[in-house]
Structure 1
Amino acid sequence: MGMASKGDLTKARLAESMLELIQTSGYSGTGLNAVIEHAAAPKGSIYFHFPDGKEGLGVAAVELAAKQFETLIVEAAVAAGGPAEAARAAIEALTTIVSESNFRLGCPVSVVTLEMGADSERLRQACATAFESWISPTAAFLEASGVGADEARSLATVVVSTIEGAVIVSRAMQSTQPLVSAADVVAELISQRCQTVGGTR
C-alpha cells in the first residue's frame, strides 16, 4: 500500500476532530470553525473534502466511530476465551475510556442518533449502519459458540443496546457503576445461554 496523500491525511484529521468534538460538545454544538481549529486544517479544507458540509463530516465521524468500536469488539473476541469474557473485556475497555475522560467521552453514535436521527435521514442511516457493524460481529461470535442464528442476533442486539444505555447512564451519574453492572449482567446472560446450548447438544 502507498503512503496516504496530504489531502487524505487532512480529510482523516477532519473526521477525527469532528468525532472528538461530537463526544464532548454534541453534534449541534460542534461548529465547522471549531473542527477546522481542532484539526489545524486550512479553512477551505472542509468543503473541499466534504462538499455537503457538516452533514457529510458528521457521517464520516460516525463511520470512524463505528470502525473504532468494531475493532475493539473483534480484538476482545480474539483475546478472550469465550463470548462472555469478550463482552466483559469490551465493556471494561469502554469503561476505561469513559472514566479516564472524566465522563466527557461517550458514544458519538448515540449522541448523533438522539440529536439528528429525526432530522437527517443520512445521519440516521449512518448511525443504524454503525450499530449494525457492532451487532453483526457479536452475533457471529455467539453463533461460533453454538447459539442459533436468530437467537445470536437477538442476544447481540440486547448486548449492544445494554452497553449503549450503560454508557449514557454512567456519564449522567459520573460513575462507572452502570457500566460495571452492565458487564456483570451481560457476561452472565451470555454465559447462561451458551451453557444452555452446550447442555442441549
Structure 2
Amino acid sequence: MASKGDLTKARLTESMLELIQTSGYSGTGLNAVIEHAAAPKGSIYFHFPDGKEGLGVAAVELAAQQFEALIAEAAASAGGAAGAARAAIEALAAIVSEGDFRLGCLVSVVTLEMGAESDRLRQACVSAFESWIAPTTALLTASGISAEEARSLATVVVSTIEGATIVSRAMRSTQPLMSAADVVAELISQRSQTAGGTR
C-alpha cells in the first residue's frame, strides 16, 4: 500500500501534468499545483527539493508512462502493427475530445516551451518520446520490417501523432487525428506487405 507521502507526491505530479496541458509550463505556478492537488503547503519542496523543474520532469515521466501504457494496450488488443497504431490514435482522439480539446500531449508542450531553456526538461522529453518510439519499433519489427526501417517508421508515426494532436486541439476537432490514423495504418500495412510481413 502506498504511503501518505507517496500519495501526496503522486497527486502533485498528476496536478502538474493536468495544469501544464491546460495552462502550459510557464503558466503553471506552484501555488496552483498545491491548490489543485489539495496538498499541504511546503509539500512540493519536500517531495521535489529542486522545485518546479523537478516536478515538471516528474510530470513528463508520468505522461510518458500513460501513453506507453496506451500503446501497450492497443498492441495487445489489435491485430498487427497497423491495427495497434490505429487503436492507439483513436484512443488518444477520444481523450482529446473528452477533455474538450484542452488536453493534449504534455511532452510536446514542455518541449516547445522549455526545450531551449532547461536541458533537464528537454532530456526528459527526449526520454518520453523514446519510450514511445521503442515499443512502436518493436511492433513494426514483429510485422516483418527491418530494424532500421522500423525505427525510422516508428519515429514518423510518433511525430505524426504529435502533430495531429496539436492540429486537433487548434481546430477543436478529432478529424486531424482520425486522418492521421488512416494514413499511419495504411503506411504501416504497405511497408509490412513490402517486407513480406502481415497486415
- Taking structure 2 as the reference length, the TM-score comes to 0.98
CA distance in 2, matches of 1:196, 1:41: 54
Task: Please show how residues 52-201 of structure 1 align to structure 2 within 5 Å.
Answer: 52-198=50-196
Q: Match for 1:10: what amino acid? A: T
Give aligned-pair identity as a percent.
85
Count of residues paired in the alignment: 197
Structure 2: gaps of 5 or more residues: none
Q: Match for 2:160: what amino acid? A: T
Q: Match for 1:20: what amino acid? A: E
Q: CA deviation at 1:177?
A: 1.0
Q: Match for 2:156: what amino acid? A: V
SS in 1 for 2:50: coil
CA distance in 2, matches of 1:66, 1:176: 21
Q: CA deviation at 1:181?
A: 0.6
Q: CA deviation at 1:101?
A: 1.1
| Residue in structure 2 matched with residue 44 of structure 1 by the alignment | 42
Structure 1: gaps of 5 or more residues: none
CA distance in 2, matches of 1:18, 1:44: 15
CA distance in 2, matches of 1:91, 1:61: 21
Root mean square deviation, CA, Å: 0.7
Q: Match for 1:60: what amino acid? A: A
Q: Deviations over 1:133-164 (max 9, x none)?
A: 00000001111111100000000000000000
CA distance in 2, matches of 1:145, 1:78: 14
Q: Match for 1:130: what amino acid? A: A
Q: Deviations over 1:12-48 (max 9, x none)?
A: 1100000000000000000000000000000010000
Q: 1:27 aligns with which of 13, 25, 28?
A: 25
Runs (4+) of structure 1 exceeding 3 A deviation are none
- Taking structure 1 as the reference length, the TM-score comes to 0.97
Q: Match for 1:81: what amino acid? A: G
